Structure 1
Amino acid sequence: MSSARPPGLPIVDAMTPAVLVLAGPVTREEVAGLCDEARARLEAAGAGVLVCDVGGLGPPGLSAVELLARLQLTARRVGGRIRLRDAGPALHALLDLVGLSFEVEGEVEQREPALSVEEAVEPGDPAV
């Protein structure tokens, strides 16, 4: 039993990004298909963010870097961006090494450390 799709535009929650789960070692032949899937999810969701769950990719290597770079390029071509989920420290280090930067879920924005504040005490100020 199947039901027909309701008429009109699909309901899309703009606050919920599209998610693409990447599992197992990805071969070069699979990269093009994953890029097509990423493009389709970004266009269908209407959101500008595609979350790539990279927790199941296995040990990071250059094939993972190539895949993420191509996914990022695909997302940018349709006006979106990539956000990584479950990226381990080894993958972070490898991406830093090759000069690729990605937004990462759950990671606080890096900012300059707060400067220390020195307070002068005036004569006659009550002790705290």
Structure 2
Amino acid sequence: MNPTEPALLVVPSPLALADVPPLCERLRTLYAAGAREVVCDVGGLVRADLAAVEVVARLRLTARRAGGRLSIRGAGPGLVALLRLVGLE
């Protein structure tokens, strides 16, 4: 892994709350392997719902705890509005 290039984490669709812990573990693994920045692609999510908000919140918390940077890519307007509503934009 090249630590100067962002790693990619793709959020699957459909997404369930049960998918959140494995995604956080994958993110921790990317940081442990040397990634400094991870791009989280949520473009495949077709619904803006509680699971989508939960995954973004937990991934951001995981990144902060690991000392890494996380950016969200591909969020649709519904998810952006929901994230803004809960203060996670």
The number of aligned residues is 89
Backbone CA RMSD of aligned residues: 1.3
Amino acid at match of 2:26: E
Asked whether 1:70 is paired with 2:87, we answer no
Rounded Cα–Cα distance in structure 2 between residues aligned with 1:42 and 1:57: 24
- Structure 1 runs (4+) deviating above 4 angstroms are none
Deviation at 1:42, TM superposition (A): 1.7
Higher helix share: 2
Rounded Cα–Cα distance in structure 2 between residues aligned with 1:68 and 1:25: 15
TM-score by length of 2: 0.89
Asked whether 1:30 is paired with 2:19, we answer yes
TM-score by length of 1: 0.64
Structure 1: 5+ residue stretches without partners: 1-11, 102-128
Question: Would you say the 8 A contact 1:23–1:55 is kept in 2?
Answer: no
Q: Deviations over 1:50-77 (max 9, x none)?
A: 1111011211111100111001111111
Q: Which residue of 1 aligns with 2:9?
A: 20
Larger Rg: 1
Deviation at 1:15, TM superposition (A): 2.6
Question: Would you say the 8 A contact 2:4–2:36 is kept in 1?
Answer: no
Structure 2: 5+ residue stretches without partners: none
